[in-house]
A and B are shown apart, each in its own frame.
Chain A
Amino acid sequence: MSYRPDGTYSAFGRIKRGALAAYVMLVAVFLIAPIVAITLGSLTDSNYVSFPPQGLTLKWYAAIFSKPVYLKALLLSLIIAFLSATAASVIGVLVAFAMHRYPTRLNILLQAFVLTPVMLPSIFIGLAFLIAYTRMGFGGSPLGLFAAHVVVATPFAVSLILIGVGAVNPALEMAARSLGASPWRARRLITLPLVAWSITAGWAFAFMMSFGSLEVSLFLNTPETVTLPVAIYTSLEWSPLDPMLTAISSGLVIVTLIVLLLLVRTVKIDQLMKRNGS
């Protein structure tokens, strides 16, 4: 379905519409430029980073396998992101149902707890986690990393799941109950299938934010807890022109893109925009 937000666009002549499309193309190029530079730059045959690539080869990807440190980092990032996204989604479901089923002022507390992490500077919470988790005894361990990522990822899962739960007509569960379904069955058969899309989308969003998170992982960085972004960051300081770094960065982009496409397939964009902003 197409929107006509105001009569302006419908009254645009062909020239104006063409100009708009051209502008959008330019901005789109701007938006994907650095990412394209990395991915295509990783195919270069030269021994230093070059974009446009000189020659096309996959040798740098093969070279990754000779540096297990990157593979370890990739594995850790994937596992942490998977676990964090799952934990964030579980929290998201609990919070969304609590807020919609029981609309009380107590929910302000819930919101303050699970939605504010995204509003604080990442440096701020990274430092807070470093100090507090060290004191609590799990500062440098994967557990600390996991906890930090859950905090970072949860607001994203919660906001999407809130939209999903809010979009369900409350009369549907009542109808199911009146037809003989217990509260649990009504939720399982009616409500849950109808919010499933938002749980998947929330999970995907949380995964991407955790997988790409740098600052928080940087603060909690120890030899056992090197995530992929951190590995790239540290290597960048020493050898920015090594094409293998672009290859591993592309690997990161590819994982992100796959999950992003999953998100886009589950979410209807117009549904999302109705709740965004004012």
Chain B
Amino acid sequence: MDSHLEIVTMNYIEIDDLKVRYGDFQALSGVSFNVAERERICLLGPSGCGKTTTLQVMAGFVVPASGEVRLAGRSLIGLAPEKRNIGIMFQNYALFPHMTVFENVAFGLRMRSASNAEIKQEVMIALERVKLAHAAEKMPSMMSGGEQQRIAFARAVIVKPSLLLLDEPFSNLDARLRQEMRGELLEMLAGLPIATIMVTHDQEEAMAIADRIVVMRAGHIEQIGTPSEIYDTPRSLFAARFIGDSNTFSGKVVSTDADIAEIEVGALGRVRGKNHGLNTGANAEVLVRPQRVIIAEPKSANTQQNSVPATVERVLFLGHRTEIHVRLDNGFKFVIWAPDHNRTDVQPGASVMLVWNVADTFAFPGGA
């Protein structure tokens, strides 16, 4: 990190009220967000939420029905993709199979009519940076997945684009490989001072890579924030469920006071949680994360805590944590995570009391 001040353009990229339609289907219904000059943004959401469409609009392959896309103040609407100088990394990398690794990376420079000498120099430097100089004359099909990712990266950034787009880069990989590739990508991105927008449906990936996450659903934005902002203060049930793990159960709002709602949950009694737009009498979904719940003695809860009775169904020792699956007295299932250093010896069949903080409880409008 530099120690002297840098003026960083906050609204380097502006997306303003984008609307996209495919025939009768409204893919994007008014999407707006800004990206700062060196920021890493993740568009996160389930399939069909419009995240890839947003990317395609920024790349220039989809024309929006209305709305604005600005890069450094300049509107991109109507500008052909080849004139936007935006780097793209595709799912499956899209390396040109009939060209060598060298020619793949050199492609962007050739399009800019660079001289052969220039190209040779720049390409070899770029390949050295990703540690693939030795593979210059090989064909992409002979390279491993990780190597292909590095080639795709080198190819995209060698032309010094103003923006880098990544389209679900890890969705085809198994868990272990994903972690490795994610690490490699982060390393490559670290040396790169450009704005980056990544599309993914994997929330862990989003949290690992992004400075800010844009949670999307059905063509609109649910919430924008840093990973911890969304994790700690989700503004909707969807956002809360999509990021991190959660336990939920339903009830009816009995009273609201300041920003706390009190909810009647049938046989379990009452719980209290942070109110997110609930009125008395409404249906509510109550959410609490597995790692915030502990098994405690009955009656040990204080006024700032919720407690409900439950029966233990099974205990799974997973090494770094123990998962305790319980059934609440009203039939809902809960999962509790007990950390490694605080192992529990509770047995299946035991009747227990679950205790957690009101501050860790979210109450959202339910029945959606």
**A and B bind:** yes
State the A residues within 8 Å of B (CB).
169, 171-172, 174-183, 185-186, 190, 193-194
**Cβ-defined contact, B111 with A171, below 8 A:** no
* Nearest residue, chain A, Cβ from B89: A175
**Cβ-defined contact, B92 with A178, below 8 A:** no
Smallest beta-carbon distance A207→chain B, Å:
25
Smallest beta-carbon distance A114→chain B, Å:
27
**Cβ-defined contact, A178 with B111, below 8 A:** no
**Cβ-defined contact, B82 with A171, below 8 A:** no
**Cβ-defined contact, B98 with A177, below 8 A:** no
- A171-B90, A185-B111 known; A178-B82 Cβ under 8 A: yes
- A172-B94, A174-B81 known; A180-B88 Cβ under 8 A: no
- A180-B111, A185-B111 known; A172-B82 Cβ under 8 A: no
- B87: CB under 8 A from chain A? yes
- B155: CB under 8 A from chain A? yes
**Cβ-defined contact, A177 with B90, below 8 A:** no
Please tell me the size bucket of the interface on B: 20 to 34
**Cβ-defined contact, A169 with B92, below 8 A:** yes
Residue from the list B81, B91, B96, B97 in contact with A177, Cβ < 8 A: B81
**Cβ-defined contact, A178 with B96, below 8 A:** no
Smallest beta-carbon distance B307→chain A, Å:
53
**Cβ-defined contact, A180 with B82, below 8 A:** yes
**Cβ-defined contact, A179 with B107, below 8 A:** yes
Residue from the list A169, A193, A194 in contact with B94, Cβ < 8 A: A169
- A174-B81, A175-B88, A175-B90 known; A180-B61 Cβ under 8 A: no
Interface residues of B in 103-149 (CB under 8 A from A): 107-108, 111-112
- B301: CB under 8 A from chain A? no
Tell me the complex Cα distance, A84–B196, Å: 52
Tell me the complex Cα distance, A186–B81, Å: 12
**12 CB-based A-B contacts, threshold 8 Å:** A178-B81, A178-B82, A178-B86, A178-B156, A179-B159, A180-B85, A180-B159, A182-B80, A183-B82, A185-B111, A186-B82, A193-B98
Smallest beta-carbon distance A169→chain B, Å:
6
**Cβ-defined contact, B111 with A181, below 8 A:** yes
Q: Add 9 more A-B contacts to A172-B94, A179-B82, A180-B83 (CB < 8 A).
A: A169-B92, A174-B90, A175-B94, A175-B96, A178-B81, A178-B87, A180-B82, A180-B112, A182-B82
Smallest beta-carbon distance B58→chain A, Å:
11
**Cβ-defined contact, A171 with B107, below 8 A:** no
Smallest beta-carbon distance B76→chain A, Å:
13
Residues of A within 8 A of B61 (CB): 174, 177
Residues of B within 8 A of A172 (CB): 94, 96-97
Residues of A within 8 A of B87 (CB): 178
Smallest beta-carbon distance A149→chain B, Å:
33
Residues of B within 8 A of A194 (CB): 97-98
Residue from the list A169, A171, A180, A183 in contact with B108, Cβ < 8 A: A180
Residues of A within 8 A of B96 (CB): 172, 175-176, 190
Tell me the complex Cα distance, A149–B92, Å: 42
- B216: CB under 8 A from chain A? no
Tell me the complex Cα distance, A176–B59, Å: 12
Tell me the complex Cα distance, A177–B92, Å: 17
Tell me the complex Cα distance, A183–B111, Å: 12
Tell me the complex Cα distance, A169–B96, Å: 10
Tell me the complex Cα distance, A17–B37, Å: 67
Smallest beta-carbon distance B61→chain A, Å:
6
Tell me the complex Cα distance, A174–B95, Å: 11
Smallest beta-carbon distance A144→chain B, Å:
41
Counting chain A CB atoms within 10 Å of each CB, the highest count among B81, B88, B98, B112 belongs to B81
Smallest beta-carbon distance B96→chain A, Å:
6
Residues of B within 8 A of A177 (CB): 60-61, 80-82
Residues of B within 8 A of A182 (CB): 80, 82
**Cβ-defined contact, A171 with B92, below 8 A:** yes
**Cβ-defined contact, B94 with A179, below 8 A:** no
**Cβ-defined contact, B97 with A179, below 8 A:** no
Interface residues of B in 23-39 (CB under 8 A from A): none
Tell me the complex Cα distance, A190–B97, Å: 9
Smallest beta-carbon distance B113→chain A, Å:
10
Residue from the list B80, B91, B98, B155 in contact with A179, Cβ < 8 A: B155
- A172-B96, A194-B97 known; A179-B108 Cβ under 8 A: yes
Tell me the complex Cα distance, A178–B87, Å: 6
**Cβ-defined contact, B97 with A174, below 8 A:** no
Smallest beta-carbon distance A124→chain B, Å:
39
Residues of A within 8 A of B81 (CB): 174, 177-178
Tell me the complex Cα distance, A169–B84, Å: 22
Residues of A within 8 A of B83 (CB): 180
Tell me the complex Cα distance, A193–B96, Å: 10
Interface string of B186-218 (1 = CB under 8 A from A): 000000000000000000000000000000000
Smallest beta-carbon distance B155→chain A, Å:
7
Tell me the complex Cα distance, A177–B60, Å: 9
**3 tightest Cβ-Cβ pairs between the two chains A and B:** A180-B111, A179-B108, A171-B94
* Nearest residue, chain A, Cβ from B152: A175
Smallest beta-carbon distance A86→chain B, Å:
24
* Nearest residue, chain A, Cβ from B161: A178
**Cβ-defined contact, B82 with A181, below 8 A:** yes
Residues of A within 8 A of B85 (CB): 180
Tell me the complex Cα distance, A175–B156, Å: 9
Tell me the complex Cα distance, A185–B111, Å: 9
Counting chain B CB atoms within 10 Å of each CB, the highest count among A175, A179, A181, A183 belongs to A179
* Nearest residue, chain B, Cβ from A173: B94
Smallest beta-carbon distance B98→chain A, Å:
5
Interface string of B156-185 (1 = CB under 8 A from A): 100100000000000000000000000000
